Amino acid sequence: MQKTLVILKPSAIQRGIAGEIISRFEKKGLQIVGMKMVELSDEILENHYAHLKNKPFFSRIKNSMQTSPVILMVAKGVGAVEVVRKMAGVTNGREALPGTIRGDYSVSVQENIVHASDSIETADIEIKRFFSEDEIFEYPQQLLPNIYANDEY
Ligand code: IDP
Ligand code: MG
C-alpha cells in the first residue's frame, strides 16, 4: 500500500474546516497512519517548496504557510498518492472541480486548503521530511475487507 503526505494549510486551520477535511479522507477509506500539528520553519518550507523558490510569489507562499500551525497527516491506502491528489483537485481553487477539496472550499491559487504529494517518489521524500519513523504507525485496518476486495490490496 502507498503512503502519502497531506498538509492542512493555514487556510484550513484558520477557517475551522480541518476536521471536515480529515473526515473526507477517513470516509474515503484511507487509513491515517501519522498526524501532528507543527509550525513550519523557513528552512523546511524552502525545501518543501524548492520547485517554486525562483517564483516572484515564493516569499508570499512561505509567509502564508506560517500564519498558523499546520496539521501534517500521512494517509495510507491502495494507490493513495493519486487518490489523495484527485481528492485535492487542481492547484487553483477557482478551477478545481466541485467535489474536490479545493473545488469545494477554495477560490484561491495560494489559499487552497491542502497540500498533497504529487508522486510516489515525492510522497516518500515528503513523509521523511516531516515525520520520524516512530511517528508513522502500523496498525490493522479492521474494515479492510469492507473497503477493498481481497485481491486489491
Ligand atoms: P500543488 O499544491 O497543486 O502541488 P504547486 O505548483 O506544487 O501546486 O504549488 C505549491 C503551492 O504553492 C500551491 O498549492 C499554492 O498554495 C502555491 N502556489 C502555486 N502556484 C502559485 C501561484 O501562481 N500564485 C500563488 N501561489 C501559488
Ligand atoms: Mg506540488
Q: What is the CATH number of the domain that holds 87?
A: 3.30.70.141
Q: Are 12 and 125 spatial neighbours (Cβ–Cβ below 8 Å)? A: no
Q: Are 29 and 77 in contact (CB under 8 A)?
A: yes
Please report whether residue 14 resides in a domain: yes
Q: Is residue 51 part of a domain?
A: yes
pLDDT digit string (tens) for 48-93?
999 999 999 999 999 999 999 999 999 999 999 999 999 999 999 9
Taking the CA of 114 as reference, the closest ligand is 1
Kindly state whether residue 153 falls inside one of the protein's structural domains: no
Q: Ligand 2 center to residue 131 CA distance, Å? A: 18
* Active centre residues (catalytic): 115
What range defines the domain where residue 33 resides?
2-147
Binning pLDDT at 50, 70 and 90, where does residue 120 land?
very high
| CB contact set of 137 (below 8 Å; sequence gap of 6+) | 33, 34
Q: Is residue 137 part of a domain?
A: yes
The total number of structural domains that make up the chain:
1
Q: Is the pTM of this model over 0.95?
A: yes
